[in-house]
């Protein structure tokens, strides 16, 4: 159904009050435009609903006689096409475009034939500010007038705010949250004004406060010869409109003021400033040389020079009209000759066009994780080198990078652009490189993505007009377009597959797991890559990184400070290099928080600073204590010196809870035959890990409570086992293996050999980190080994601990294999290597002379050990605790007992030895060893 056409109401010259500035007749504000006819997707699909742009402009209401020449946007610097670029690591989604979102609305106000009557530069609209709620303020010039409009991305509507009947140069503009007050700062730029300045000197810059609901009054806030920038403060998004607005005035005279404007409603619709005299104001900052506005979090960062060093300060504004100086940090960056610079206080297009490239680019980026970074780039002294630094103030050190620029077909750019991607800071030099710095874990270079060539290309962005207004967004000032930025998952995986360097592989792997976050599809892609590249990475184990990083981000959002206590990588250090990049790390002073008991970002920053003071790496859980305790318990079990029953009962109760929790997660039947048996060693390790991790968290998270910590630890260990199972399930699906592959009387296929190799690497990764494996893993592993390996290789793997013999596997050997010569050789080789506890159980099931020899040898060994260690005064009846139903052996035992009782050497009684049996057994054993 086609919506009805919007109404077209003529706009007359409604003069309103003359106010304090009668020399400028005013056009009144028009009604807002109607909704667009078509939307490209819903706002709910956008990562920022109020930034979801429409590519089809609706028919807006007319604005009257203002005229406009349409100026096409210049082509992208990288030659890209409009729209998202799926082949690039950073994917842009256009959220606002002057040419498609504003120009069609402006063209609807006058006849098209009149467009050629004005110069191109005078008619082009340009953006002057973006407010916290996402609304975009722009200005354009008509027939001797200067107009101000507002675009609302949420409902895709344009709105005419105000018109000056003069040719003015708008410096800065801001509107309050209720759209009742408009602050404008401008220069008088017409020839008539220049002539008047010669006859009667007037101020160069005027700052006005205008009532626009409806147009009622105009007040002059400043009339000075230096430029003024204006910015309204915005309340919290969930707060109702309040009667008082707060306006920041930022002066090139190096000070910042806050004005308090109280408004009242007259005649049920007119909003009028209540203050009859001078507006109350506060001085916020003095003597500053640089300032940046954080519109999303309502923070003001500024730098004040001191004798010894420069001081970075931050003022936090609150919805309750208060503000606090909340942070100070000493800087080692020389800034004395930079002049006065403002960041994110609107955009003066004309001034930017006249300025030469800036010698210093300085920006502050924060993230929800509590990271606080100061990014700085300067004009290069050497034409083919670019230097930039990032101070990780939340960590207490800075990194300075020098990159050799190789390409000569791109013009030399004076500075790199910084983009805030929340978990990363992106440094972008068009045509040369794209560097993504990990802000939460910046200690090792291998967590940074450094791209060059085609991998570093970002379409639709110009070379020197890129500005990061807020997280995951970029504004191309030259073309008047705004984009949301995200890391393209498919491009990241493609980069991972194509990477030749370990540093690139590790950086891409961490980016996928820690930034893009794990989804089922992405997880399967990563497991696929790992299975194909297990032997490619030489400086890290991809299985270990996958498991540790996945666990880290699965658990850390649960509790504050948990990310400081759980490991996020298996690497302790990395000595590699990134080709073409040099890095220098310097220790810097930690910032000082001036206000205690802060919430939100400041609370997380304070936690980061506390961890930096106390050497954060030592807070991370490690497996050294766990490994020692596990080995100690295993050795005690082997020596039959078990701990107290209560201690072991608690350990196995922990393991039982983990396995029960895991069973509740997985109701569907698994392809991989795991969890089918009791595995003493793995259950012991599972229970020990629960106990050790619980003790570690209790030392640092006492405020969380025991029940919460118990739940965190239970989920962590359960998720660990589940990750290993998901890897195994993916391998089974990849190679189309059956749910049961433990039929030992057949040889293994190539797919089973590949699965065996991957299981061996899983075992290696788990042993390296002392991680438990699902019960049944070792049985499945050695079962595949029996099917896939030659006997000598199988025995070599068993002797070196790669394969571990289990009771279940030994029993299956008896059931599945007949007593052919080849199978007898395999059985005998396996049984001679069985642990003693398993051997006693399994040996009773094999009725074969070789097994009889095995029983006899073990029993004699046991008896002789007791004869050597036993006191002679003990009764003879207690000398053998296990009675074996094997008559020759019983006879031998009786003879040895009698010899012991008489105090004789049992080896001197040759008549008690069956020489023929010994000879046959020795000959058979020798033939097996020689392979005859």
Assess whether pLDDT exceeds 90 at residue 878. no
Q: Which residue has the higher pLDDT, 563 or 61?
A: 563
The per-residue pLDDT for range 860-873, each reduced to its tens digit, is 666 666 655 654 44
**pLDDT for 189 beyond 50:** yes
State in Å, rounded, how far the first CA of the chain is from the last one. Answer: 89
Q: Return the structure tokens found at 722.
A: 């589940």
pLDDT tops 50 at residue 277 = yes
Whether the predicted pLDDT of 102 surpasses 50:
yes
Q: What is the pLDDT of residue 737?
A: 87
pLDDT beyond 50 at 217: yes
Confidence at residue 388, expressed as pLDDT on a 0 to 100 scale: 93
Instruction: Write out the two tokens for 28.
Output: 């009144």
Output the CA–CA distances (angstroms, integers) from residue 386 to 180, 433, 578, 752, in the order listed: 47, 10, 15, 52
User: Residue 351 has what pLDDT?
Assistant: 54
Report how far residue 724's alpha carbon sits from residue 544's, in angstroms, rounded to the nearest whole number: 11
Q: Given its phi and psi angles, is residue 28 left (phi above 0), alpha (psi -120 to 50 degrees) or beta? A: beta
Q: What is the Cα–Cα distance from 866 to 883, expressed in whole angstroms?
A: 15
Whether the pLDDT of residue 417 is over 50: the answer is yes
User: Averaging pLDDT over each range in 141-145, 160-164, 185-189, 735-739, which range is the top one?
Assistant: 160-164
- Is there a contact between 446 and 503 (Cβ–Cβ < 8 Å)? yes
Q: Which of 305, 359, 300 is nearest to 324 (CA)?
A: 300
**Average of per-residue pLDDT across 27-43:** 37
Is residue 58 pLDDT above 70, yes or no? Answer: no
437 or 831, higher pLDDT: 437
Considering the chain, what percentage of its residues have pLDDT values greater than 70?
A: 71
Beta pairing class for 433-438 and 341-343? unpaired
- 890 pLDDT band (50/70/90 cuts)? low
Q: Kindly report the backbone phi and psi dihedral angles of residue 652, in degrees, each rounded to the nearest multiple of 5, phi listed first.
A: -75, -25
What's the number of CA atoms in the CB half-sphere (13 Å) around residue 180? Answer: 19
Q: Which of 309, 136, 345 is nearest to 228 (CA)?
A: 345
Model pLDDT, residue 32:
41
Distance CA 50, CA 67 (A): 29
Query: Crossing angle for the helix pair 791-799 and 821-831, nearest 10 degrees?
Result: 10
- pLDDT tens across 245-262, in order? 899 999 999 999 999 998
Please, is 661 exposed, middle or buried when counting C-beta atoms within 10 Å of its C-beta (0-12, 13-18, 19+)?
middle
Contacts of 270 (CB under 8 A, 6+ apart): 213, 214, 216
Whose CA is closest to 832, among 795, 883, 788, 802?
A: 795
Place 828 in a pLDDT band, splitting at 50, 70 and 90: confident
Name residues whose C-beta falls within 8 Å of residue 430's C-beta, 6 or more positions apart in sequence. Answer: 77, 78, 410, 413, 417, 458, 461, 462, 463
- Greater confidence (923 vs 429) lies with 429
The predicted structure's pLDDT at residue 265: 83
Residue 274 confidence (pLDDT) above 70: yes
Mean pLDDT across the stretch 541-554? Answer: 91
In tens, the pLDDT along 565-578 reads 898 888 888 888 88
CA atoms lying within 13 Å on the CB side of residue 587:
2
Residue of higher predicted confidence among 11 and 295: 295
The span from the CA of 770 to the CA of 689, in Å, is 9
| More reliable by pLDDT, 186 or 823 | 186
Measure CA 112 to chain center. Answer: 50
pLDDT, tens digit, for every residue of 393-416?
999 999 999 998 876 666 555 678
> Which residues are CB-contacts of 155 (< 8 A; sequence separation ≥ 6)?
35
| Residue 5, pLDDT score | 36
Report the pLDDT value the prediction gives residue 504, as an integer from 0 to 100: 93
* pLDDT the model gives residue 414: 60
799 has pLDDT over 60: yes
Q: Which of 592, 544, 552 minimizes the C-alpha distance to 572?
A: 544
pLDDT at position 434, please? Answer: 92
Q: For residue range 304-350, list pLDDT tens digits in order.
A: 988 778 999 999 998 776 899 999 999 988 776 667 889 999 887 65
Question: Rounded to whole angstroms, how far apart are CA atoms 296 and 870?
Answer: 81
CA proximity to 473, closest of 625, 294, 340: 294
For residue 83 the two structure tokens come to: 């729209």
Reading the block at residue 238, the tokens are 């969930």
Q: What are the pLDDT digits (tens) for 425-439? A: 999 988 888 999 999
pLDDT of residue 11: 30
For the CA atoms of 520, 439, 443, 559, the dihedral, rounded to the nearest 10 degrees, stands at -60
Structure tokens that stand for 316 in this block: 């936090």
**Residues contacting 82, CB < 8 A, separation 6+:** 94, 460
Quick check: 259 and 278 in contact, CB under 8 A?
Answer: no
Q: Say what the pLDDT of residue 850 is.
A: 59
Question: Which of 733, 734, 696, 693 is CA-nearest to residue 717?
Answer: 693
Q: What pLDDT is attached to residue 389?
A: 94
User: What does the domain layout of the chain look like in residue ranges?
Assistant: 1-70+94-166, 487-572, 624-846, 847-932
Q: What is the phi/psi pair of residue 558, to 5°?
A: -70, -45
| The pLDDT value given to residue 507 | 93
Task: Return the pLDDT at 203.
Answer: 74
pTM: 0.79
Q: What is the mean pLDDT of the chain?
A: 78
On the CB side of 781, how many CA atoms lie within 13 Å of its CA? 23
For residue 369, pLDDT over 70 is answered with yes
130 within 8 A of 138, measured Cβ to Cβ: no
Higher pLDDT, 690 or 27: 690
The stretch 733-754 carries a mean pLDDT of 81
CB neighbours of residue 178 within 10 Å: 15
Q: 778, 859, 790: which is closest to 826 by C-alpha?
A: 790
Q: What is the pLDDT of residues 677-721, one digit of tens each?
A: 778 889 999 999 999 999 999 988 888 888 999 999 999 999 999
> Largest alpha-carbon pair distance within the chain?
138
In this predicted model, what pLDDT tens digit does every residue of 482-499 receive, in sequence order? 999 989 888 999 999 999
Task: Classify 460 in phi/psi space as left (phi over 0), alpha (psi -120 to 50) or beta.
Answer: left
Average pLDDT over residues 36-47: 35
Q: Give me the pLDDT at residue 16, please.
A: 33
DSSP code per residue over 452-481 = EGGGG--TT--SS-EE--STTEEEETTTTE
CA angle 304, 307, 310 (to 5 degrees): 35
- pLDDT computed for residue 557 by the predictor: 73
SS3 482: strand
Q: Look up residue 165 and give its DSSP letter.
A: S
pLDDT given for residue 243 in this prediction? 76
For 36-63, what is the mean pLDDT? 34
- For the segment 194-205, the average pLDDT, to the nearest whole number, is 61
Position 41 pLDDT exceeds 50: no
Calpha distance 338→526 (Å, rounded): 47
The owner of tokens 């079962």 is 783
Do 552 and 369 meet the contact criterion of CB atoms below 8 Å apart?
no
């Amino acid at each position: 159904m086609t919506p009805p056409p919007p109404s077209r109401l003529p706009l007359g010259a409604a003069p309103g009050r003359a106010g304090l500035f009668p020399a400028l007749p005013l056009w009144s504000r028009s009604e807002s435009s109607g909704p667009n006819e078509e939307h490209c997707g819903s706002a709910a699909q956008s990562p920022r609903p109020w930034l979801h742009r429409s590519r089809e402009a609706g028919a807006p209401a007319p604005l009257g006689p203002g005229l406009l020449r349409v100026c096409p946007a210049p082509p992208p610097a990288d030659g890209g096409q409009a729209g998202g670029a799926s082949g690039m690591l950073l994917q842009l989604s256009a959220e606002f475009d002057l040419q498609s979102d504003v120009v069609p609305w402006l063209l609807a106000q006058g006849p098209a034939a009149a467009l050629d009557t004005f110069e191109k530069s005078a008619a082009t609209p340009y953006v002057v500010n973006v407010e916290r709620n996402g609304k975009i303020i722009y200005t354009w010039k008509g027939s001797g007038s200067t107009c101000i409009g507002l675009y609302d991305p949420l409902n895709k509507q344009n709105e005419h705010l105000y018109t000056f009947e003069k040719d003015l140069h708008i410096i800065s503009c801001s509107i309050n949250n209720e759209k009742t007050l408009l602050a404008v700062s401008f220069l008088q730029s017409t020839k008539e004004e220049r002539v008047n300045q010669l006859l009667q000197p007037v101020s160069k810059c005027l700052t006005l406060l205008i009532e626009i609901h409806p147009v009622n009054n105009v007040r002059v806030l400043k009339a000075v010869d230096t430029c003024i920038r204006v910015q309204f403060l915005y309340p919290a998004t969930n707060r109702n409109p309040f009667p008082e607005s707060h306006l920041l005035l930022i002066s090139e005279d190096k000070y910042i003021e806050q004005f308090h404007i109280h408004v009242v409603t007259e005649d049920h619709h007119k909003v009028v400033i209540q203050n009859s005299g001078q507006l109350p104001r506060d001085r916020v900052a003095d003597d500053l040389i640089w300032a940046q506005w954080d519109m999303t979090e309502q923070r003001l960062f500024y730098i004040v020079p001191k004798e010894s060093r420069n001081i970075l300060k931050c003022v936090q504004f609150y919805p309750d009209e208060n503000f606090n100086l909340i942070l100070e940090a000493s800087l080692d960056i020389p800034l004395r000759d930079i002049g006065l610079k403002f960041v994110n206080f609107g955009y003066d297009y004309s001034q930017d066009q006249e300025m030469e490239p800036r010698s210093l680019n300085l920006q502050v980026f924060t993230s929800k994780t509590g990271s606080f970074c100061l990014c700085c780039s300067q004009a290069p002294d050497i034409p083919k080198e670019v230097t930039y630094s990032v101070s990780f103030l939340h960590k207490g050190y800075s990194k300075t990078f020098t990159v050799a620029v190789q390409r000569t077909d791109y013009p030399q750019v004076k500075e790199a652009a910084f983009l805030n991607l929340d978990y990363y800071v992106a440094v972008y030099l068009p045509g040369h490189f794209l560097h993504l710095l990990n802000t939460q874990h910046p200690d090792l270079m291998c967590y940074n993505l450094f791209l060059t060539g085609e991998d570093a290309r970002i379409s639709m962005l110009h070379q020197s007009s890129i500005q990061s207004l807020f997280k995951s967004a970029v504004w191309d000032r030259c073309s008047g377009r705004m984009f949301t930025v995200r890391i393209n998952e498919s491009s990241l995986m493609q980069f991972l597959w194509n990477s030749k360097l370990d540093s690139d592989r590790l950086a891409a792997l961490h980016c996928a797991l820690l930034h893009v976050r794990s989804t089922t599809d992405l997880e399967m892609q990563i497991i696929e890559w790992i299975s194909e590249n297990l032997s490619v990475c030489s400086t890290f184990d991809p299985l270990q990184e996958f498991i540790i990083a996945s666990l880290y981000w699965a658990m850390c959002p649960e509790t504050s400070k948990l990310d400081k206590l759980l490991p996020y990588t298996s690497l302790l250090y990395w000595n590699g290099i990134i080709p073409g990049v040099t890095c220098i790390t310097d220790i810097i002073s930690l910032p000082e928080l001036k206000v205690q008991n802060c919430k939100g970002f400041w609370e997380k920053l304070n936690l980061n600073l506390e961890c930096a003071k106390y050497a954060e790496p030592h807070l991370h859980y490690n497996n050294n204590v766990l490994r020692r305790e596990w080995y100690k318990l295993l050795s005690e079990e082997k020596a039959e010196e078990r701990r107290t029953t209560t201690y072991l009962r608690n350990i196995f109760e922990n393991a039982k809870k983990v396995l029960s929790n895991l069973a509740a997660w997985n109701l569907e039947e698994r392809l991989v035959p795991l969890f089918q048996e009791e595995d003493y060693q793995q259950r012991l390790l599972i229970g020990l890990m629960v106990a050790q991790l619980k003790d570690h968290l209790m030392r640092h998270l006492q405020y969380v409570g025991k029940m919460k910590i118990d739940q965190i630890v239970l989920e962590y260990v359960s998720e660990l086992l589940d990750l290993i199972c998901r890897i195994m399930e993916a391998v089974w699906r990849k190679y189309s293996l059956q749910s049961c592959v433990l039929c030992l009387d057949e040889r293994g296929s190539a797919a089973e050999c590949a699965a065996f190799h991957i299981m061996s690497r899983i075992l290696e990764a788990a042993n390296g980190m002392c991680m438990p494996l699902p019960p049944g893993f070792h049985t499945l592993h050695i079962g595949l080994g029996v099917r896939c390996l030659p006997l000598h290789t199988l025995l070599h793997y068993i002797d070196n601990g790669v394969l571990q013999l289990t009771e279940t596997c030994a029993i299956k050997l008896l059931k599945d294999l007949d007593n052919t010569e080849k199978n007898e050789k395999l059985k005998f080789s396996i049984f001679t290597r069985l642990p003693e506890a398993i051997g006693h159980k399994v040996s009773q099931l094999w009725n074969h002379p070789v097994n009889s020899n095995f029983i006899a040898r073990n029993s004699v060994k046991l008896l002789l050990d007791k004869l050597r260690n036993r006191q002679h005064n003990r009764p003879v009846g207690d000398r053998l605790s296990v009675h074996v139903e094997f008559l020759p052996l019983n006879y031998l035992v009786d003879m040895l007992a009698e010899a012991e009782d008489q105090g004789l050497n049992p080896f001197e009684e040759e008549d008690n030895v069956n020489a023929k049996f010994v000879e046959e057994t020795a000959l058979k054993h020798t033939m097996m060893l020689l392979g005859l």
